[in-house]
Amino acid sequence: MDTDFIDSFRRYQKTGNFWGDLNPLTKLNVCLALAFSALIMMDYRYGIPLCILVCIIAALSGKFIEFIKLFGRLSLIIIVFVTLIRQIGMRTGNVTPFINVFGWQWYLESFIKGWNTITFILGFSGSLLLFFTTTTMRDLMYSLEQIGVSHETSYIMLASMQNIVDLKQASVTILDSQKSRGIEVEGNILVRAKAFFPTLGPLLLGAIASTEEKVIAMDARAFSVHRKHTFLRELAPAGTGQKILIAAAWMVTLATLIYRVFLR
Amino acid sequence: MAKIELRNVTYKYPYTRGYALKDVTHSFESGKFYGIIGENGGGKTTLCNLIRGLIPHFYKGKLQGDVIVDGVDIRDWDLNELSARIGYVFENPFTQISGIKPTVFEEVAMGLENLGVPKEDIIRKVTEVCKQLKIEDLIKNNPNELSGGQRQRVAFASIITMDTDMLIIDEPTSQLDPEGTEDVFEIIKTLKESNRTLILVEHKIDMVAEYCDEVIVMNEGSIVFSGPTHEVLSDPAIMECGAMMSQIAIFGHEMAKAGKPLERIPITLAEAVALVKARR
Amino acid sequence: MAIEIKNASFQYPNGFLAIENISLTIHDGERVAIVGQNGAGKTTAVKMMNGLNKPTGGDVIIDGINTKERTTAAIARIVGYVFQNPDDQIFNQSVQAEIEYMPRYFKLPEKEIAERVNYAVELTNIERYLKTNPYDLPYPIRKFVAIAAVIASRPKYMILDEPTAGQDKHGLEQLSRLIDRLQADGVTLLTITHDMEFAVNNFHRVVAMAHKNIIADGTPQDVFWNEAVVAEAKIKKPLIGELAKQLDLDGKILFSDELVARL
């Protein structure tokens, strides 16, 4: 038997990574503070360094690949989208023609002026993304339970995450079973749409039917017994250092607010 | 004292026409192992739901007669407190996994966490049960990625750690392969030695023959036969009530019919071997 | 005319190799039970037969048609497959609508639809549930609804995946009658089963699988009396066979009447 693993429950769960081992609520505070500061500043000179900062934190916490996959995709979409919108809104005024694509005139300003908006959106969403890629739902719910969120709410949140995985798997099986009856699912969009409908029924009914059993099964595990719960897996509570970090993060936000309101 | 006492119990599920249980009277003694057999729709699972308190607390419907658990009427029990006293393992290995625990060890510990048992005690108990049920090698695995048989073993471990003195086991093997079934019956054998009151609903009649002290045959909501395992399972009349008969017992009857009777009708393999050898 | 699996392998897109170079021919009119441990590749193998899994090596030929050249649905109309869990399949609001679904999908005339429904419910003995919503029926009955729905497509080959799971005595007897009747009407039957009594009582040929391969193929006697196969496939000898073995009787006994005659 893996005694090291069993012993790990006797201590606070630690990974040895500074950012990773912060209390989820500390991380949430820092990330929210950064996100709001981006919203307040609305300036590429603040947005770009912020984007770089969240990338660095993600890299330091060892989650760079997961983070950049999402963040990279998001960046691409936002840049293209905002540029397009700008381009459409930039028909008049003092503009510089840039390139002409099959008779569609693009202006240089649409590429430049969008950057304040783009970096704000990316700085804002990047901060939140940083939180969600470096914090598991389980850790977050644990911390929320510590500050009074109910056991039931926590269960529903966590079980829903698993349900999504399970539903995905079930939908593959159901589609296979429909194919096995001879329902054509390969071919043009109409054929696919026609095949899609029959899969929804079993998927939803299956989910509902298993809910009742799940309730009974969880009940057998004393889920609803009204006693103070033990947490086998514990996270370190936020110490003074972390509290200072939270305060510092919000100070940054406050500073950006003061800058925007009084100094610019 | 009887662990559970049923007196003239009649029950109807909500929104249904027929009665699921009709005038059932039976008492379950502490420390005994009961097998419940009979055709589907005969009331086996309903009986389990009743003893477990799901009827009338979870399934409403119309309940008449008395159900006494540990001396207290079922209607007066708090369902939550009852769950800490009566363990329940059922058929579907998938719905019994919580879906919120990342490792088997934590999954097994969940019941004790909910009961607020001190952490050191949880660790000790879970370690012990995982060893006992031979799932030591799985403790770090994600329970959501296990096979049906492995999940069922985890489901058993999760309930056994809670140390209830009674356990209801409803068709634990119907979705498992022969190896998974063997494993589950290995567990049931260990449980039998632990002096708990056990109630097992099972179609695999050979397993019932092997382990149970007493057998109850249900048909159309009533108990039609009950008594010591050997007496019930060797009686061909149980087949007329939709219950299956062991291949071994059928063989015993065929021997008698062929004019080569064995000393008595065997119900287990070992018994049949001994009886045939004795006759030679 | 036959199902021919020729040196076929199957590797899932994630790289997991589930079947490694198997060959198997199922002739018309046969009854074949496939046995073995979970994970041995049984389900993957039958899914190759109905076109759900196109072999990643070798070929699967159904009545002369290579499964790679047709859609799954086209192959599945020849080889019907009843999934283990009926809830993956059933989606209509009544048993009747469920059984009628494929005949209607094929745009058959009303008269033929009615005939097929009658035939399917007769074989599965679910006539009294025709107007019921399948989800109000108990699990073992839902299994029969799923079987009836596949029967209504009139496939030439039919695969039943764990049909005995959760069935009681009546259910098992109904299954035996259904298998006899389908075979009499020209359907070739295959089953995947963990129920060895069911396999020996209803099937003439047993294919044992282990470690992504077929390790034995023959009569129930040949397979269940081959101790090496029984051990490797982790299957259990039917009880009467086990009894005969413990009594040191030869002759590959599997049935009660044989044993009684020998004692």
Contact C205, C217 (CB under 8 A): yes
Contacts of B189-193 with C-beta under 8 Å, sequence gap 24+, read B190/B132, B190/B133, B191/B160, B191/B167, B192/B33
In angstroms, how far is CA A24 from the centroid of its own chain?
A: 14
pLDDT at B37: 94
**Is C37 in CB contact (< 8 Å) with chain B?**
yes
Tell me the chain A residues in contact with residue B158 when contact means C-beta distances shorter than 8 Å: 221
pLDDT at A77: 92
pLDDT at A94: 67
Q: What percent of chain A has pLDDT over 70?
A: 97
* Contact residues of A toward B, CB < 8 A: 1-2, 5-6, 9-10, 138, 155, 158-159, 162-163, 165-166, 210, 213-233
Joined together, the tokens standing for residue C227 give 């101790």
pLDDT in tens, B165-183: 899 999 998 877 777 888 8
| Chain-chain contact of A173 with C76 (C-beta, under 8 angstroms) | no
CA gap C49, C5 in Å, rounded: 8
Cα of C223 to nearest chain A Cα, Å: 30
pLDDT at A92: 62
Query: Of B81, B130, B144, which is closest to A225 when you measure between CB atoms?
Result: B81
| Chain-chain contact of C87 with A178 (C-beta, under 8 angstroms) | no
| Chain-chain contact of C243 with B248 (C-beta, under 8 angstroms) | yes
pLDDT at A90: 64
**Is C139 in CB contact (< 8 Å) with chain A?**
no
Give mean pLDDT, residues B115-142. 93
**Is C256 in CB contact (< 8 Å) with chain B?**
yes
CB count in 10 Å sphere of residue B217: 26
pLDDT at A204: 80
Contact A1, B130 (CB under 8 A): yes
Q: Within chain B, what is the greatest distance between any pair of CA atoms?
A: 65
Place of tokens 């009665």: B19
| Chain-chain contact of A226 with B80 (C-beta, under 8 angstroms) | yes
Cα of A153 to nearest chain C Cα, Å: 29
| Chain-chain contact of B273 with C238 (C-beta, under 8 angstroms) | no
Query: Of A180, A200, A205, which is closest to C83 when you measure between CB atoms?
Result: A180
Give mean pLDDT, residues A162-185. 84
CB burial of residue A191 (10 Å; 0-12, 13-18, 19+): middle
| Chain-chain contact of A182 with C92 (C-beta, under 8 angstroms) | no
Give the side-chain half-sphere CA count within 13 A for A162: 21
| Chain-chain contact of A176 with C47 (C-beta, under 8 angstroms) | yes
pLDDT for B152 beyond 80:
yes
Cα of C51 to nearest chain A Cα, Å: 8
pLDDT at A10: 92
Query: Phi and psi at residue C31, in whole multiples of 5°?
Result: -125, 115
3-state per-residue secondary structure call for chain C = CEEEEEEEEEECCCCCEEEEEEEEEEECCCEEEEEECCCCCHHHHHHHHCCCCCCCEEEEEECCEEHHHCCHHHHHCCEEEECCCHHHCCCCCCHHHHHHHHHHHCCCCHHHHHHHHHHHHHHHCCHHHCCCCHHHCCHHHHHHHHHHHHHCCCCCEEEEECCCCCCCHHHHHHHHHHHHHHHHCCCEEEEECCCHHHHHHHCCEEEEEECCEEEEEECHHHHHCCHHHHHHCCCCCCHHHHHHHHCCCCCCCCCHHHHHHHC
| Chain-chain contact of A182 with C73 (C-beta, under 8 angstroms) | yes
Place of tokens 């007329």: B240
Q: What is the pTM of this model?
A: 0.86
Place of tokens 């939709």: B242
Grade residue A163 by pLDDT with cuts at 50, 70 and 90. confident
CA gap A164, A147 in Å, rounded: 27
| Chain-chain contact of C238 with B247 (C-beta, under 8 angstroms) | yes
**Is A184 in CB contact (< 8 Å) with chain C?**
yes
Contact C137, C81 (CB under 8 A): no
CA gap B215, B33 in Å, rounded: 9
| Among candidate residues A209, A39, A34, A42, the one with its CA nearest the CA of residue A130 | A34
CA gap A139, C105 in Å, rounded: 50
What is the chain A residue with the closest CA to B87? Answer: A220
Neighbours of chain A (3+ CB pairs under 8 A): B, C
Residues of chain C where predicted confidence (pLDDT) is lower than 70: none
Contact A96, A109 (CB under 8 A): yes
Tell me the chain A residues in contact with residue B109 when contact means C-beta distances shorter than 8 Å: 232
Query: Of A10, A214, A229, which is closest to B123 when you measure between CB atoms?
Result: A10
Query: Of A179, A184, A198, which is closest to C91 when you measure between CB atoms?
Result: A198
Q: What is the ipTM of this complex?
A: 0.87
Query: Which residue in A169, A174, A180, A191 has the most chain C C-beta atoms within 10 A of its own C-beta, making it the best mutation to test that interface?
Result: A180
| Chain-chain contact of B88 with A220 (C-beta, under 8 angstroms) | yes
Query: Which residue in B40, B45, B147 has the most chain C C-beta atoms within 10 A of its own C-beta, making it the best mutation to test that interface?
Result: B40
B21-29 sheet: strands from edge to edge: B21-29, B2-12, B62-69, B72-73
| Chain-chain contact of C77 with A182 (C-beta, under 8 angstroms) | yes
pLDDT in tens, A102-127: 777 777 777 777 788 888 899 999 99
How far CA A156 is from CA of A136, A160, A162, B104, C120, in Å, comes to: 15, 6, 10, 20, 42
Contact C138, B40 (CB under 8 A): yes
| Chain-chain contact of B203 with C168 (C-beta, under 8 angstroms) | yes
Q: Which residue has the higher pLDDT, A84 or C22?
A: C22
Angle between helices C239-246 and B269-279 (to 10 degrees): 40
Contact C40, C210 (CB under 8 A): yes
CA gap A264, C65 in Å, rounded: 77
Query: Which residue in B54, B100, B166 has the most chain A C-beta atoms within 10 A of its own C-beta, making it the best mutation to test that interface?
Result: B100
What is the chain A residue with the closest CA to B105? Answer: A6
| Chain-chain contact of C38 with B254 (C-beta, under 8 angstroms) | no
Q: Quick check: bond before B56 cis, omega within 30? A: yes
Pinpoint the alpha helices (H) of chain B: 44-51, 54-57, 79-83, 104-114, 119-132, 148-160, 178-192, 205-211, 229-233, 237-240, 247-257, 269-279
Q: What is the mean pLDDT of chain B?
A: 91
In angstroms, how far is CA B23 from the centroid of its own chain?
A: 22
What is the C-alpha R_g of chain B?
20
CA gap C263, C261 in Å, rounded: 6
Tell me the chain C residues in contact with residue B174 when contact means C-beta distances shorter than 8 Å: 165-166
Give the side-chain half-sphere CA count within 13 A for A172: 7
3-state per-residue secondary structure call for B176-227 = CCHHHHHHHHHHHHHHHCCCCEEEEECCCHHHHHHHCCEEEEEECCEEEEEE
| Among candidate residues B47, B83, B84, the one with its CA nearest the CA of residue B67 | B47
| Chain-chain contact of A217 with B105 (C-beta, under 8 angstroms) | no
pLDDT at B235: 94
pLDDT at A194: 74
| Among candidate residues B32, B64, B58, B29, the one with its CA nearest the CA of residue B45 | B58
**β-bridge partners, B88:** B168
β-strand C65-66 against B166-170: which pairing, if any?
A: unpaired
CB count in 10 Å sphere of residue C40: 26
Contact B245, B205 (CB under 8 A): yes
Tell me the chain B residues in contact with residue C172 when contact means C-beta distances shorter than 8 Å: 244
Which amino acid is it at A153?
A: T
Pinpoint the alpha helices (H) of chain A: 3-7, 24-41, 44-60, 64-88, 108-112, 115-134, 137-146, 151-180, 189-220, 240-258
| Among candidate residues C80, C85, C52, the one with its CA nearest the CA of residue C67 | C52
What is the chain B residue with the closest CA to C245? Answer: B273
pLDDT at A93: 64
pLDDT at B264: 94
Residues 6+ apart with CB under 8 A from A102: none
Residues 6+ apart with CB under 8 A from C71: A184, A186, A187, C51
pLDDT at C63: 94
Query: Which residue in A169, A177, A205 has the most chain C C-beta atoms within 10 A of its own C-beta, making it the best mutation to test that interface?
Result: A177
| Chain-chain contact of B251 with C39 (C-beta, under 8 angstroms) | no
Angle between helices B148-160 and B178-192 (to 10 degrees): 10
Query: How many CB pairs below 8 A link A and B?
Result: 121
Query: Of C39, C140, C246, which is closest to B273 when you measure between CB atoms?
Result: C246
Cα of B147 to nearest chain C Cα, Å: 8
Angle between helices C139-151 and C110-124 (to 10 degrees): 140
**β-bridge partners, B35:** B200, B215
